[in-house]
Amino acid sequence: MVSLNRNLILAFLCVLLCFVVSFSNAQLSANFYGTSCPNLQTIVRNAMTQAVNREARLGASILRLFFHDCFVNGCDASILLDDTSTFIGEKNANPNRNSARGYEVIDTIKTQVEAACPNVISCADILALAAREGTVLLGGPSWAVPLGRRDARTASQSAANTQIPAPSSSLATLISMFSAKGLSARDMTALSGSHTIGQARCTTFRNRIYNDTNIDPQFAATRRATCPASGGDANLAPLDIQTPNRFDNDYYQNLVVRRGLLHSDQELFNGGSQDALVRSYSNNGASFRSDFAAAMVKMGNISPLTGTNGEIRTNCRAIN
């Protein structure tokens, strides 16, 4: 009898341990909040609609925020944490300082979500959904967003400074940095198409318009008019000069005629391994949209915190 009880206890402990391991390594699922917060996606969609109607650029800003979050320790909402007297976050890292924006939109969505479903939805999942909605609102593709992420209790300014590709990056560097996150060269080229929307600061493209040789002269002259050789660092220019507020494949058409705004943009079409894919996307918008949606799902799966890891922040700007 004692032996039987011991065996039963061991079997129970084994089941319990397996459950804990399984829970802490839970996989993301598109219907993760299907019963705990069924109106989640409607709340995010309505809030993003209001934000983008107010300022179209916010669709691009939120998409960029998600990208910069995922590339630093995974998609864990670490980018949303404010600095404190004892904590230095990612907001003032070089790639984000004076350029990352849209935080207040995520705050608004979080407030509305908390009112409907308190202590259930992570800021990381809200950011992932908001990035999708912003893309769709500007005419881009939709995709099923896998959910179930939890929020980080820490952030890394040093990782943000070293792991987010710079606008001066070479093709080899871009391929390498995306590969380090489990993303292929094709994923990288498709995700770069997010530059079909949004704007960039003069400081990020000044060297290209004054010093690069693989640039259309008329395009360079146009950009120099609002981006002087010195000063005016914060002056803005559209990443896609044709349709900056519409998600389409014009970005790739611009690359083919040497009108990429950033050095890193034009690297995708500069006699290298991605030339054929860029030309394909420039001719086939449907192919780009399909690859972009698939790559967004892959990027959203970079090292998420799930199960018992991390937390559900009640305020996206601070740990609980």
Q: Which of 50, 28, 34, 19 is nearest to 120 (CA)?
A: 34
Token readout for 17 is 């341990």
For residue 263, indicate whether it is catalytic.
Answer: no
Catalytic entry in 57, 64, 68, 149 = 68
Contact 309, 24 (CB under 8 A): yes
**Residue 243, annotated as binding a ligand:** yes
**Residue 263, annotated as binding a ligand:** no
**Residue 240, annotated as binding a ligand:** yes
As a whole number of angstroms, the distance between CA 250 and CA 252 comes to 5
* Total residues found in the chain within this entry: 320
**Residue 248, annotated as binding a ligand:** yes
**Residue 90, annotated as binding a ligand:** yes
**Residue 311, annotated as binding a ligand:** no
As a whole number of angstroms, the distance between CA 205 and CA 236 comes to 10
Token readout for 151 is 């929020």
Contact 144, 131 (CB under 8 A): no
Sign of CA dihedral 75, 79, 81, 86: positive
**Residue 187, annotated as binding a ligand:** no
Sign of CA dihedral 103, 156, 172, 214: positive
Q: What is the largest CA-CA distance in the chain?
A: 89
**Residue 83, annotated as binding a ligand:** no
**Residue 300, annotated as binding a ligand:** no
Element (H, E) at 176: helix 171-179
Q: Which of 252, 237, 197, 241 is nearest to 52 (CA)?
A: 197
Contact 30, 147 (CB under 8 A): yes
Instruction: Could you list the residues known to form a binding site for substrate, using ranges.
Output: 165
Instruction: Could you list the residues known to form a binding site, using ranges.
Output: 69, 72, 74, 76, 78, 90, 165, 195-196, 240, 243, 248
User: Which residues are known catalytic residues?
Assistant: 68
Instruction: Could you list the residues known to form a binding site for heme b, using ranges.
Output: 195
Instruction: Could you list the residues known to form a binding site for Ca(2+), using ranges.
Output: 69, 72, 74, 76, 78, 90, 196, 240, 243, 248
